[in-house]
Protein backbone atom coordinates (compact mmCIF):
# COMPACT_ATOMS: atom_id res chain seq x y z
CA UNK A 1 0.00 0.00 0.00
CA UNK A 2 1.19 3.48 -0.81
CA UNK A 3 1.72 5.95 1.95
CA UNK A 4 0.11 9.35 2.14
CA UNK A 5 3.36 10.98 1.01
CA UNK A 6 3.20 9.29 -2.39
CA UNK A 7 0.02 11.11 -3.40
CA UNK A 8 1.37 14.24 -5.08
CA UNK A 9 -0.53 16.62 -7.36
CA UNK A 10 0.76 18.11 -10.57
CA UNK A 11 1.78 21.20 -8.61
CA UNK A 12 3.97 19.03 -6.34
CA UNK A 13 1.52 19.46 -3.47
CA UNK A 14 1.35 16.42 -1.22
CA UNK A 15 -2.22 15.25 -0.66
CA UNK A 16 -3.42 13.93 2.67
CA UNK A 17 -5.33 11.05 1.05
CA UNK A 18 -4.93 7.34 1.65
CA UNK A 19 -5.10 4.81 -1.19
CA UNK A 20 -7.70 2.10 -0.62
CA UNK A 21 -6.49 -1.40 0.20
CA UNK A 22 -7.30 -4.40 -1.96
CA UNK A 23 -9.80 -6.02 0.49
CA UNK A 24 -11.97 -2.90 0.73
CA UNK A 25 -11.84 -2.39 -3.03
CA UNK A 26 -12.75 -6.03 -3.65
CA UNK A 27 -15.71 -5.77 -1.26
CA UNK A 28 -16.93 -2.63 -3.05
CA UNK A 29 -16.66 -4.38 -6.43
CA UNK A 30 -18.58 -7.40 -5.13
CA UNK A 31 -21.41 -5.16 -3.88
CA UNK A 32 -21.56 -3.35 -7.21
CA UNK A 33 -21.55 -6.60 -9.20
CA UNK A 34 -24.31 -8.13 -7.08
CA UNK A 35 -26.56 -5.11 -7.60
CA UNK A 36 -25.77 -4.78 -11.32
CA UNK A 37 -26.21 -8.47 -12.14
CA UNK A 38 -29.41 -8.68 -10.12
CA UNK A 39 -30.80 -5.80 -12.17
CA UNK A 40 -29.53 -7.43 -15.38
CA UNK A 41 -31.20 -10.75 -14.59
CA UNK A 42 -34.51 -9.04 -13.84
CA UNK A 43 -34.36 -7.03 -17.06
CA UNK A 44 -33.41 -10.15 -19.06
CA UNK A 45 -36.39 -12.07 -17.70
CA UNK A 46 -38.73 -9.21 -18.52
CA UNK A 47 -37.31 -8.92 -22.05
CA UNK A 48 -37.61 -12.66 -22.60
CA UNK A 49 -41.27 -12.60 -21.70
CA UNK A 50 -41.98 -9.42 -23.65
CA UNK A 51 -40.14 -10.48 -26.84
CA UNK A 52 -41.52 -14.00 -27.06
CA UNK A 53 -43.19 -13.21 -30.36
CA UNK A 54 -40.11 -11.65 -32.00
CA UNK A 55 -37.65 -13.47 -34.23
CA UNK A 56 -34.25 -14.73 -33.09
CA UNK A 57 -32.25 -11.82 -34.52
CA UNK A 58 -34.34 -9.22 -32.67
CA UNK A 59 -34.06 -11.12 -29.41
CA UNK A 60 -30.28 -11.38 -29.80
CA UNK A 61 -29.99 -7.65 -30.54
CA UNK A 62 -32.01 -6.79 -27.43
CA UNK A 63 -29.88 -9.14 -25.33
CA UNK A 64 -26.65 -7.46 -26.49
CA UNK A 65 -28.13 -4.00 -25.93
CA UNK A 66 -29.25 -4.89 -22.41
CA UNK A 67 -25.80 -6.28 -21.59
CA UNK A 68 -24.05 -3.13 -22.80
CA UNK A 69 -26.57 -0.90 -21.06
CA UNK A 70 -26.74 -2.50 -17.59
CA UNK A 71 -23.46 -4.26 -16.62
CA UNK A 72 -21.31 -1.77 -18.57
CA UNK A 73 -23.24 1.47 -19.07
CA UNK A 74 -24.88 1.79 -15.66
CA UNK A 75 -21.61 1.66 -13.62
CA UNK A 76 -20.07 4.27 -15.96
CA UNK A 77 -23.08 6.57 -15.56
CA UNK A 78 -23.16 6.13 -11.77
CA UNK A 79 -19.45 6.91 -11.33
CA UNK A 80 -19.74 9.96 -13.59
CA UNK A 81 -22.80 11.44 -11.88
CA UNK A 82 -21.57 10.67 -8.34
CA UNK A 83 -17.97 11.80 -9.05
CA UNK A 84 -16.46 8.41 -8.29
CA UNK A 85 -18.81 6.93 -5.69
CA UNK A 86 -20.70 3.84 -6.73
CA UNK A 87 -23.01 2.00 -4.34
CA UNK A 88 -20.26 -0.38 -3.25
CA UNK A 89 -17.71 2.40 -2.79
CA UNK A 90 -20.24 4.43 -0.83
CA UNK A 91 -20.82 1.48 1.51
CA UNK A 92 -17.06 0.94 1.98
CA UNK A 93 -16.16 4.62 2.31
CA UNK A 94 -14.17 4.79 -0.95
CA UNK A 95 -14.05 7.21 -3.86
CA UNK A 96 -12.39 7.31 -7.29
CA UNK A 97 -10.32 10.46 -7.87
CA UNK A 98 -7.86 11.64 -10.48
CA UNK A 99 -4.12 11.32 -9.96
CA UNK A 100 -4.02 14.97 -8.90
CA UNK A 101 -6.79 14.42 -6.33
CA UNK A 102 -9.57 16.06 -8.36
CA UNK A 103 -13.00 14.55 -9.15
CA UNK A 104 -13.27 12.23 -12.15
CA UNK A 105 -15.16 13.04 -15.34
CA UNK A 106 -16.99 10.97 -17.95
CA UNK A 107 -13.84 10.02 -19.86
CA UNK A 108 -12.23 8.63 -16.69
CA UNK A 109 -15.31 6.56 -15.85
CA UNK A 110 -15.57 5.39 -19.48
CA UNK A 111 -11.99 4.10 -19.58
CA UNK A 112 -12.36 2.41 -16.18
CA UNK A 113 -15.64 0.79 -17.23
CA UNK A 114 -14.31 -0.41 -20.57
CA UNK A 115 -11.22 -1.93 -19.00
CA UNK A 116 -13.36 -3.39 -16.23
CA UNK A 117 -15.14 -5.61 -18.76
CA UNK A 118 -11.84 -7.39 -19.40
CA UNK A 119 -10.18 -7.35 -15.98
CA UNK A 120 -13.30 -7.82 -13.85
CA UNK A 121 -15.96 -9.61 -15.89
CA UNK A 122 -14.03 -11.70 -18.43
CA UNK A 123 -11.18 -12.70 -16.08
CA UNK A 124 -13.36 -12.92 -12.93
CA UNK A 125 -11.25 -10.22 -11.27
CA UNK A 126 -7.92 -12.06 -11.52
CA UNK A 127 -6.26 -9.39 -13.67
CA UNK A 128 -7.51 -6.62 -11.40
CA UNK A 129 -6.23 -8.36 -8.26
CA UNK A 130 -2.79 -9.02 -9.72
CA UNK A 131 -2.48 -5.44 -10.98
CA UNK A 132 -3.54 -4.04 -7.59
CA UNK A 133 -0.98 -6.16 -5.75
CA UNK A 134 1.82 -5.13 -8.12
CA UNK A 135 0.94 -1.42 -8.21
CA UNK A 136 2.46 0.80 -5.52
CA UNK A 137 -0.87 2.56 -5.05
CA UNK A 138 -3.07 -0.52 -5.44
CA UNK A 139 -4.38 0.53 -8.86
CA UNK A 140 -5.87 -1.85 -11.39
CA UNK A 141 -5.29 -1.66 -15.14
CA UNK A 142 -8.32 0.56 -15.69
CA UNK A 143 -6.96 3.07 -13.18
CA UNK A 144 -3.58 3.15 -14.91
CA UNK A 145 -5.13 3.91 -18.31
CA UNK A 146 -7.65 6.40 -16.93
CA UNK A 147 -5.21 8.19 -14.63
CA UNK A 148 -7.35 7.56 -11.54
CA UNK A 149 -6.93 6.27 -8.02
CA UNK A 150 -9.30 4.81 -5.42
CA UNK A 151 -8.88 6.50 -2.03
CA UNK A 152 -10.43 6.15 1.40
CA UNK A 153 -12.91 8.82 2.42
CA UNK A 154 -13.46 7.56 5.96
CA UNK A 155 -10.12 7.52 7.77
CA UNK A 156 -10.13 6.23 11.37
CA UNK A 157 -9.91 9.02 13.90
CA UNK A 158 -7.85 7.08 16.43
CA UNK A 159 -4.56 7.51 14.57
CA UNK A 160 -3.40 10.27 16.88
CA UNK A 161 -4.37 13.53 18.43
CA UNK A 162 -6.04 16.09 16.17
CA UNK A 163 -4.16 19.19 15.13
CA UNK A 164 -5.55 22.24 16.96
CA UNK A 165 -7.20 24.85 14.71
CA UNK A 166 -5.64 28.26 14.13
CA UNK A 167 -7.19 31.43 15.53
CA UNK A 168 -10.02 32.82 13.35
CA UNK A 169 -8.02 35.89 12.33
CA UNK A 170 -5.42 33.65 10.65
CA UNK A 171 -7.82 31.35 8.72
CA UNK A 172 -7.31 31.97 5.00
CA UNK A 173 -4.45 34.43 5.50
CA UNK A 174 -1.94 32.08 3.86
CA UNK A 175 -4.10 31.07 0.88
CA UNK A 176 -1.48 32.38 -1.59
CA UNK A 177 1.44 30.65 0.11
CA UNK A 178 3.45 28.24 -2.06
CA UNK A 179 3.73 24.97 -0.14
CA UNK A 180 5.24 22.86 -2.93
CA UNK A 181 8.80 23.10 -1.55
CA UNK A 182 7.99 22.01 2.00
CA UNK A 183 9.48 18.51 2.56
CA UNK A 184 7.44 15.69 4.03
CA UNK A 185 9.63 15.33 7.12
CA UNK A 186 9.04 18.99 8.01
CA UNK A 187 5.25 18.51 7.69
CA UNK A 188 5.53 15.52 10.01
CA UNK A 189 7.60 17.46 12.53
CA UNK A 190 5.13 20.37 12.52
CA UNK A 191 2.18 18.05 13.01
CA UNK A 192 3.88 16.20 15.85
CA UNK A 193 4.68 19.47 17.57
CA UNK A 194 1.12 20.84 17.23
CA UNK A 195 -0.41 17.68 18.66
CA UNK A 196 1.98 17.54 21.62
CA UNK A 197 2.78 21.16 22.41
CA UNK A 198 0.52 21.10 25.46
CA UNK A 199 2.81 18.50 27.04
CA UNK A 200 5.97 20.57 26.59
CA UNK A 201 7.58 23.00 28.97
CA UNK A 202 6.72 26.60 28.06
CA UNK A 203 10.27 27.57 27.16
CA UNK A 204 11.00 24.39 25.25
CA UNK A 205 7.72 24.61 23.35
CA UNK A 206 8.32 28.23 22.38
CA UNK A 207 11.84 27.60 21.08
CA UNK A 208 10.69 24.53 19.15
CA UNK A 209 7.81 26.40 17.53
CA UNK A 210 10.15 29.25 16.58
CA UNK A 211 12.61 26.85 14.95
CA UNK A 212 9.88 25.02 13.01
CA UNK A 213 8.32 28.30 11.90
CA UNK A 214 11.70 29.54 10.64
CA UNK A 215 12.23 26.28 8.69
CA UNK A 216 8.73 26.49 7.20
CA UNK A 217 9.20 30.14 6.25
CA UNK A 218 12.52 29.30 4.60
CA UNK A 219 10.87 26.59 2.48
CA UNK A 220 7.99 28.83 1.38
CA UNK A 221 10.19 31.87 0.76
CA UNK A 222 7.90 34.12 2.81
CA UNK A 223 9.09 35.29 6.25
CA UNK A 224 7.03 34.85 9.36
CA UNK A 225 4.50 37.73 9.55
CA UNK A 226 5.28 40.18 12.33
CA UNK A 227 3.07 39.90 15.38
CA UNK A 228 2.04 36.29 14.65
CA UNK A 229 3.14 33.73 17.28
CA UNK A 230 5.08 30.81 15.77
CA UNK A 231 2.62 28.17 17.04
CA UNK A 232 -0.33 30.06 15.53
CA UNK A 233 1.58 30.41 12.26
CA UNK A 234 2.26 26.66 12.12
CA UNK A 235 -1.39 25.81 12.85
CA UNK A 236 -2.63 28.24 10.19
CA UNK A 237 -0.31 26.85 7.50
CA UNK A 238 -1.28 23.24 8.31
CA UNK A 239 -4.94 24.27 8.20
CA UNK A 240 -4.40 25.85 4.78
CA UNK A 241 -2.77 22.69 3.48
CA UNK A 242 -5.67 20.54 4.70
CA UNK A 243 -8.16 22.91 3.08
CA UNK A 244 -6.34 22.67 -0.26
CA UNK A 245 -6.31 18.87 -0.10
CA UNK A 246 -10.03 18.73 0.63
CA UNK A 247 -10.81 21.28 -2.07
CA UNK A 248 -8.88 19.31 -4.68
CA UNK A 249 -10.47 16.00 -3.77
CA UNK A 250 -14.01 16.71 -2.64
CA UNK A 251 -14.92 20.29 -3.56
CA UNK A 252 -15.48 23.55 -1.72
CA UNK A 253 -17.92 22.14 0.87
CA UNK A 254 -15.31 19.73 2.25
CA UNK A 255 -12.69 22.48 2.18
CA UNK A 256 -14.91 24.67 4.34
CA UNK A 257 -15.36 21.78 6.79
CA UNK A 258 -11.60 21.20 6.88
CA UNK A 259 -11.03 24.72 8.21
CA UNK A 260 -13.17 24.00 11.27
CA UNK A 261 -11.25 22.81 14.30
CA UNK A 262 -11.71 19.39 15.90
CA UNK A 263 -14.44 18.84 18.42
CA UNK A 264 -13.40 19.23 22.03
CA UNK A 265 -11.28 22.37 21.65
CA UNK A 266 -7.62 22.81 20.78
CA UNK A 267 -4.67 21.73 22.81
CA UNK A 268 -2.91 24.31 25.01
CA UNK A 269 -0.52 26.53 23.12
CA UNK A 270 3.09 27.08 24.05
CA UNK A 271 4.03 30.63 24.96
CA UNK A 272 7.34 32.28 25.79
CA UNK A 273 8.48 31.88 29.40
CA UNK A 274 7.38 34.80 31.56
CA UNK A 275 9.83 36.32 34.08
CA UNK A 276 8.93 35.93 37.73
CA UNK A 277 9.30 38.93 40.09
CA UNK A 278 12.23 38.62 42.45
CA UNK A 279 11.30 38.22 46.10
CA UNK A 280 13.85 38.78 48.81
CA UNK A 281 14.79 35.55 50.50
CA UNK A 282 13.68 33.33 47.60
CA UNK A 283 15.75 31.99 44.69
CA UNK A 284 15.29 33.57 41.26
CA UNK A 285 14.85 30.25 39.46
CA UNK A 286 11.31 28.99 39.01
CA UNK A 287 10.70 25.51 40.30
CA UNK A 288 9.56 23.06 37.67
CA UNK A 289 7.07 21.71 40.18
CA UNK A 290 5.30 25.07 40.40
CA UNK A 291 2.04 25.28 38.44
CA UNK A 292 2.34 27.09 35.12
CA UNK A 293 -0.44 28.66 33.09
CA UNK A 294 0.18 27.16 29.64
CA UNK A 295 -3.30 27.84 28.33
CA UNK A 296 -3.08 31.63 28.37
CA UNK A 297 -1.62 33.03 25.13
CA UNK A 298 0.84 35.93 24.98
CA UNK A 299 -0.37 39.45 24.37
CA UNK A 300 -0.22 39.04 20.58
CA UNK A 301 -0.63 35.34 20.72
CA UNK A 302 -2.52 32.30 19.64
CA UNK A 303 -6.15 32.69 20.71
CA UNK A 304 -8.10 29.74 19.25
CA UNK A 305 -11.88 29.68 19.62
CA UNK A 306 -13.34 28.22 22.80
Model pLDDT, residue 10 = 40
Q: How far is CA 20 from CA 4, 47, 130, in A?
A: 11, 38, 15
Reported as type and span, the H/E element at residue 94 is strand 94-98
> By three-state DSSP, how is residue 191 classified?
helix
At residue 256, the pLDDT reads 55
Q: Answer whether 160's CB lies under 8 Å from 195's CB.
A: yes
Sequence spans of domains, the chain = 4-152, 168-258
Please report the pLDDT score of residue 60 as a whole number. 84
Write out the chain's pLDDT in tens, 306 residues. 344 434 444 433 344 567 888 899 999 999 999 999 999 999 888 888 887 777 888 888 888 888 888 888 899 999 999 989 899 999 998 999 888 777 899 999 999 999 988 888 888 889 999 998 988 888 999 999 999 989 887 655 444 567 777 888 888 888 888 888 888 878 888 888 888 887 778 888 888 889 999 998 899 888 888 888 888 888 888 888 888 877 777 765 555 554 544 434 444 444 454 555 444 444 444 444 444 443 344 444 454 444
- Cα-based distances in Å from 233 to 16, 71, 211, 217: 20, 52, 12, 10
Amino acid sequence: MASVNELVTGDAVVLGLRPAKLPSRALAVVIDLVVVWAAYIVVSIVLTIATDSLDTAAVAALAVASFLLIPVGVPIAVETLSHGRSLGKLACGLRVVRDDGGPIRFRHALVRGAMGVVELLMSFGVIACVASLVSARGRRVGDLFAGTLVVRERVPTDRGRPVPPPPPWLVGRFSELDLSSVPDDLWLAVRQYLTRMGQLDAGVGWSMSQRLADDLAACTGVPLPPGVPPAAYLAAVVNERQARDSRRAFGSAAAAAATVGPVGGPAPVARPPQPRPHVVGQPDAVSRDAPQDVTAPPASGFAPPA
